[in-house]
Chains A and B, each alone.
Chain A
Amino acid sequence: MSWIWPEGLYAAVMIGAFAAGAFRLKLPIAIAMSAAAVIGALLGGEGIPIRHLVEGAFGYIDTILIIASAMIYMKALQKTGLLESLAAFVIRKFRNSPLWLSFGLTGIVMIPGMITGSSTAAVLTAGALVAPVMMRLNVPADRAGALIAMAAIYGMIAPPVNIPAMIIGGGIDMPYVGFAGPLLACTLPLAAYSAVTLVYPYLRASGGGGEQLEQELRRMEKVPLSARLLLPVWVLVVLMAGEQFFPDVWPALGLPVDFVLAALSALASGSRFDPLEAATEAVRDSLPVMGILMGVGMFIQIMTLIGVQGFVVVSALALPSFLIYLAIATTVPLFGAISAFGAASILGVPFVLALLGKNTIVVTAAVSLIAGLGDLMPPTALAGIFAAQVIGEDNYFVVLRRCLVPGLVTAVWGIILILGANGVAAVLY
């Protein structure tokens, strides 16, 4: 009974089947992933275990509700004309101070991620708002998309809500307290770095735009920005903040209901649109991602069932100790190809346990940061896919290519924080 056999074969076949389906047969990623799961099950001697396949998909039922409802909300904002007029407003306000404009745009994208703990929500709400602003100011689309994707991930990791850290904490019985400082140390420097390197040079060079921009701005302001037009934004802010800051008195509606209520309020914001068509379009646009999550769920369940999970995790732990940091920086984001939350659960917990000598909160915060990078890893690459969508780019690899450098910097920063965890803790507490 060797280590590689048979689990190594299973892993290779499952990944190979996925790659062949997705890249050779050009099947949708969701279908390729599910097919790879079925092939893995057959190979592992489990037949076609419908119960396991469906059960695995259920791991993401709440995520797909969030995605569908967030997308419905975004469509509503678009249809009312709010996105364009708000973008025009921000450009007029800050077009002459590019550094603040770049920090401001990054911060705007982070906020919904900080509150919801979801990079998808950040990209689809705030990302969709700032994308047109950046592009009007001559930031190339790929850089605008990359900044949105990176800022969304930093938002998802920044406090108050960080789901990967909560998942790791749940796995080692550590309450989610005392994380605000370490998580800010994880994210703020990187957010500033990304803003400065990705978009600042272009914002500065654009010099506030010329006559062409002015014309563009007037077109964008066709629906004038008014308090009433902003209604769906206020409704969402109030609903999310209420649940976050007053959990004792506020009804626990949850993100999906928050999004749907805010989307409904768009009907009262003065612009007319067909809500049924808007919602259908929203679901149509989000179906590929929802399908991918279903496929990923099946894939993980079968991996676990036939022993590939243990093979992968223990192989990662088996690396020589000086390589463990390299392993964290590579395997955790790579596993994010399947799911960032899955990476936190399956790899994050054993790695944090392997580093128990260091300050656990700082280590967990840093591992969650690296797990967040999983949202850039194809095929799922939720942050990349949606960032591409909000900049109107069909091929999300265009965005991912631009994320490569800030992504690497993020991983290195995460490792530096782990190495210096006790020092960081001494400074923070």
Chain B
Amino acid sequence: MMRQPAASWKTAILLLLLSLFVAFVAARDFRVMNAPDVFAPAEGFARKMLSEYFPPLKGTTADTPVFIREGKEPGGTVLILGGTHPVESAGILAATLFLENASVPRGRLIVIPNANAMALTHNSPQEGHPQRIHFALKDGSTRVFRYGSRATNFTDEWPFPEIYVHPASGQKLSGKERSNLNRCYPGVPDGSMTERLAFAIVELIRKEKVDLAFDLHEASPEYPVVNAIVAHERSMELAAIVTMELEGLGIPIRLEPSPKNLRGLSHREWGDSTDVLPILMETGNPSQGRLRGRTDERLVLTGEDKAYVKAAALGRLFIPYEGNQLIAYRVARHVTAIRVFVENLEMVRPGKGVTLEGIPQYEEILKQGVEAFLKPVPKKREV
């Protein structure tokens, strides 16, 4: 029989109201991330949805736009996937540059700029990441891209298992990896949302008979697989040619074989379950690293960070770091590597070559910035 002093009730109500107010303010901020990014595809791209390859995805948060450009002359099919991990902005932007600039005289180009749309609608706790990055275009308008999370939004598949057992192999990973698209391949048609998404992407590769597929990533500068190509054994010959050619262009890049015992990743499972030549590429992105200092939009765009300068001096990094990792540099690496891969496709798949035109050159991107190759979009919202 505790006697409640009157003040206690009042303060409890007051504090509860305060909690609800804070929750309301936070909720408004969180929900802004639900508005999709807008793209301005180059002429000739048809817009489909991923659910057309796997209908159960229709109407779910996993569904995402797929842009297809069919060339006049028949040839092979190339797929570019950005946004597997939306914290790796150079992947999304490189895919966008192809989507907004490419013309395709021969073969077909498929671009999925936001592969895991469910990971774009939130930021991971305790990362302190910005919600968006901005680019000022020449005509005075601004292009906005969301900076999301590595993992699918909690609200799309909660709770997590304690341990994620990769269905195809029985491999055990931390439970949260079930929300990592690049651990869920080849996917499960009735699995978790992320497993279904992975399944849909593999369905697309199969149904569109994709010859060469890119999964664009970025990695922390302190992570060994960075500035790298990871290739399935089937893609190895082509990747070796490309690596040499990139060296010649002054773009040193590591070539790593896809480990056979690390399952669920695109470079392993796409190759094992379809006929495609899978390629995963990494650039160095300080804004996702664990050594990073102040975390904000500026860090994403410039990669300037004194903590990384010090870490580089200590020999802790796997990239040459001289004070920055500009977004233009990271995007230019991806764009150029893809261009060189596509130019050499005919050599390993006779009759399946693809010709891409209108793709900005390495030096052009470095000099003029990513923004020079983004197109203005109709203004949808104020941010």
Residues of chain A having any CB pair with chain B under 8 Å? 1, 3, 7, 44, 50-59, 61-62, 116-117, 161, 163, 166-167, 169-173, 175-177, 243, 247-248, 252, 254-256, 297, 300-307, 309-311, 313-314, 317-318, 342, 345-346, 349-350, 353-354, 356
Give the chain B neighbours of A62 by CB distance below 8 A.
Answer: 159-160
User: Is residue B171 contacting chain A, with contact meaning CB distance below 8 A?
Assistant: yes
Find out whether the CB atom of A176 lies under 8 angstroms from the CB atom of B293: no
Q: Which of A7, A58, A170, A317 contacts B125 (CB 8 A)?
A: A58
Question: In the complex, what distance in Å separates the CA atom of A254 from the CA atom of B178?
Answer: 14
Given A161-B162, A301-B125, A302-B128, also A350-B292 (CB < 8 A) = no
B22 — nearest CB in chain A belongs to which residue?
A50
The answer to whether A254 and B290 touch across the interface, beta carbons within 8 angstroms, is no
Residues of A within 8 A of B30 (CB): 51, 55
Q: Are B311 and A304 touching (Cβ within 8 A)?
A: no
Say yes or no for B273: interface residue by CB 8 A criterion: no
- A372 → B minimal CB distance (Å): 16
- Structural contact, B29 and A307, CB atoms closer than 8 A: no
User: Would B22 and A54 count as touching, CB distance under 8 A?
Assistant: yes
Distance of A177 Cα from B165 Cα, bound (Å): 11
Interface of A is mostly: helix
A304 to B225, CA, bound (A): 24
List of A residues within 8 angstroms of B23 by Cβ: 54
Contacts A7-B294, A116-B162 known; 8 new A-B pairs at CB < 8 A: A51-B29, A53-B26, A61-B154, A117-B162, A175-B171, A301-B126, A317-B311, A317-B314
A58, A171, A302: residue with the most chain B Cβ atoms closer than 10 Å: A58
Of B26, B154, B171, B293, which contacts A307 at CB under 8 A?
B293
Q: Which residue of A lies closest to B170 (CB)?
A: A248
CB <8 Å contact, A317 and B290:
no
A-B pairs, 5 with minimum CB distance: A305-B128, A310-B307, A307-B294, A166-B174, A307-B293
B295 within 8 A of A: yes
A176 B165 Cβ-Cβ under 8 A: no
Do residues B173 and A59 form an inter-chain contact, with CB atoms below 8 A? no
Given A243-B162, A350-B222, residue A170 in contact with residue B174 (CB < 8 A): yes
> Are A254 and B162 in contact (CB-based, < 8 A)?
yes
Nearest to B127 among chain A residues (CB) is: A304
Check B223–A175 contact: CB distance below 8 A: no
Assess whether B161 is interfacial by the CB under 8 Å rule: yes
In the bound complex, residues from chain A placing their C-beta under 8 Å from that of B159 are: 62, 254, 256
The verdict on B209 contacting chain A, using a C-beta distance below 8 Å, is: no
Q: Does B172 contact A (CB under 8 A)?
A: yes
Q: Which residues of A contact B311 (CB under 8 A)?
A: 314, 317
Q: Report Cα–Cα, A166/B162, bound state, in Å.
A: 10
Q: How far is the CA of A296 from the CA of B268 in the complex (A)?
A: 38
Residues of A near B293 (CB, < 8 A) are 7, 307, 309-311
> Is A175 a contact of B314 with CB atoms below 8 Å?
no
> Does B36 touch A at the CB level, under 8 Å?
no
Rounded to whole angstroms, the CA-CA distance of A199 and B30 in the bound complex is 51
A175 to B268, CA, bound (A): 14
Q: Are B310 and A318 in contact (CB under 8 A)?
A: yes
Q: Which residues of A contact B261 (CB under 8 A)?
A: 175
Q: In chain B, what residue has the closest Cβ to A248? A: B165
Contact, CB under 8 Å: B291 / A314: yes
Whole-angstrom distance from the CB of B226 to the nearest CB of chain A? 12
Give 24 pairs: A residue, B residue, CB < 8 Å, sorted on A. Answer: A55-B123, A55-B126, A161-B162, A170-B174, A175-B172, A175-B262, A243-B162, A248-B165, A300-B126, A301-B125, A301-B128, A304-B128, A306-B128, A307-B293, A309-B292, A310-B292, A313-B290, A313-B291, A314-B307, A314-B314, A317-B314, A318-B310, A345-B290, A353-B224
Q: Is the CB of A317 within 8 A of B316?
A: yes
Rounded to whole Å, the gap between the CB of A150 and the closest CB of chain B is 23
Let me know if B174 and A310 touch, CB within 8 A.
no
Within 8 Å CB of B305, what residues of A? 310
Q: Looking at the assembled complex, report how far the CB atom of A394 sits from the nearest CB atom of chain B, in whole angstroms.
A: 20
How far, in Å, is A249 (CB) from chain B's closest CB?
A: 11
Q: Is B173's CB under 8 angstroms from A52's CB?
A: no
B25 at the interface (CB under 8 A from A): yes
Alpha-carbon distance between A171 and B225 when the two chains are bound, in angstroms = 12
**Interface residue? B168 (CB, 8 A):** no
Q: CA separation between A177 and B311, bound complex, in Å?
A: 30
Closest to B161 in A: A252
Say yes or no: B290 contacts A171, CB within 8 Å.
Answer: yes
User: Is the CB–CB distance between B290 and A50 below 8 Å?
Assistant: no
CA distance A350 to B261 in the complex (A): 23
